[in-house]
Amino acid sequence: MIDLKLLKNNLKDIEKKINSRGESFDLSTIVLDYEKKNSLQIEIEDLRNQKKQVSKEIGELKKNKSNSSEQEKRSDELSTNLSKLEKSFEEVDEKVNKNLSLVPNIPHEKCPNGNSEEDNVEVHRKEYKNPKTNLDHVEIGEKIDCINFDDATKVAGPRFVVLKNKLAQMHRALIQLMLDEAMKNNYQECYVPHIVNSNSLFGTGQLPKFADDSFKVENEEKYLIPTAEVPLTNLFRDKQLAVDELPVMVTAHTPCYRSEAGSYGKDTRGMIRQHQFEKVELVQIVHPSNSNDALNSLISHASSILDMLEISYRHVELCTGDLGFSASKTIDIEVWLPSQETFREISSCSNFTDFQARRMNIKIKDEKEKILAHTINGSGLAVGRCLVAIMENYFDENKGLIVPEALKKYVNFEFIPLK
């Protein structure tokens, strides 16, 4: 969530920045309720002090065996009024928090203005060898007999896949490569739950606004994780980190589950957009003064996988209208897919500033004060999309699917032959 004090003191400026995302928030109502809440708090404290004073007077009168009926009547009146005020305070506080929880993060001051992905800005490109075929990964999978969508649909439904034999081994090898590189870059590997509670999804910003995008466990306030960002970042919820503990750098490989609500008819062919997919996630928790540098380092860590695989990619800075809910700044890493003759997202690397930390109460404690941390995360990388890129960039129509040099130490074959 954004800082209420900051919002109150910079209402028009923040409202303008928030609405540059394509939103239409009237944040003045939140500020008015916030001011009402503060006024109620002052009244409550005043009544509590009065009640404390009257209670003291009653005690003195009873000690001296004097009549305290008038003071007791006054105490009852104060208790009644205090109860009403406390109820009003709780209602306004709940309203403020509910409305504020629906407001996205403030875009970074240098974030490009725009309405959609068409307004995103390419900031870097790295090109490698040209592919030998224009077949897409579905056709390639059929030619090497290692991919089956029909069986997956029979078992689970559409937007699932079964990988077989050597292609499944390559998928596993990719995961190991990504984790090994993450640890070389000083990330601590974690094994985390794949089911999380609603507090965790609220902390990273998926709830309450995007409940329909997640798979909910029936009759429980628990969900399948949409990304390892959720459990990894929430490991530090309600924690105070010492300055010398920073930066916190953690990674995990997990399956990810997304309902893809609202995306029906989009990317229905193949493995690009599925209900279940694998990712290796990179998360950093840093001092606010270091968050921009941390984002750049995380982008380089994720991009290094594509450099090792020698597949063309680019970095794209998202405009205000294409930012994720919790992000202040995002750089997408997009990989080249020859069949589509375009780059497709394989990692979204974001600086969330203190937005998530405020929701999760993640603080940094130094000698002088306690401040909210900044959180950074991105995929390092999306495994399925990386496999798709390898299939389309390394397929030889006469031989089969060639194993990239960087993966050969993880598998005992150099190519997957044609069936």
Q: Is the pLDDT of residue 132 over 90?
A: no
Mean pLDDT of all residues in the chain?
95
Extract the annotated binding site for ATP.
Answer: 258-260, 345-348
Residue 397 has pLDDT above 70, yes or no: yes
Task: Write down the pLDDT at residue 261.
Answer: 63
Total Cβ atoms within 10 A of residue 91: 13
The answer on pLDDT for 417 being more than 60 is yes
pLDDT score of 268: 74
The ranges assigned to domains in the chain are 4-100, 117-417
Q: How confident is the model at residue 388 (pLDDT cuts 50, 70, 90)?
A: very high
CATH code, residues 4-100: 1.10.287.40
pLDDT tens across 52-108, in order? 999 999 999 988 888 988 999 999 999 999 999 999 999 999 999 999 999 999 999
Structure tokens at 400: 């089969």
- Is the pLDDT score of 371 beyond 90? yes
Q: Where are the alpha helices (DSSP H) in 212-283?
A: 229-234
Where is the binding site, in residues? 227, 258-260, 281, 345-348, 377
- In angstroms, rounded to a whole number, what is the distance separating the alpha carbons of residues 191 and 251? 9
The pTM for the full model equals 0.93
Mean pLDDT of 387-411: 96
pLDDT tens track for 262-321: 556 677 789 999 999 999 999 999 999 999 999 999 999 999 999 999 999 999 999 999
The CATH fold assigned to 117-417 is BirA Bifunctional Protein; domain 2 (3.30.930)
Q: Output the pLDDT for position 366.
A: 82
Residue 160 CB partners (closer than 8 Å, separation 6+)? 149, 152, 153, 274, 275, 276
Q: What pLDDT is attached to residue 262?
A: 57
Annotated binding site for L-serine: 227, 258, 281, 377
Distances (CA, A) of 244 to 115, 248, 287, 366: 41, 10, 10, 9
Torsion of CA 355, 360, 361, 367, to 10 degrees: -70
All residues at 6 or more sequence positions from 8 whose CB lies less than 8 Å from its CB, including other chains: 31, 34, 35
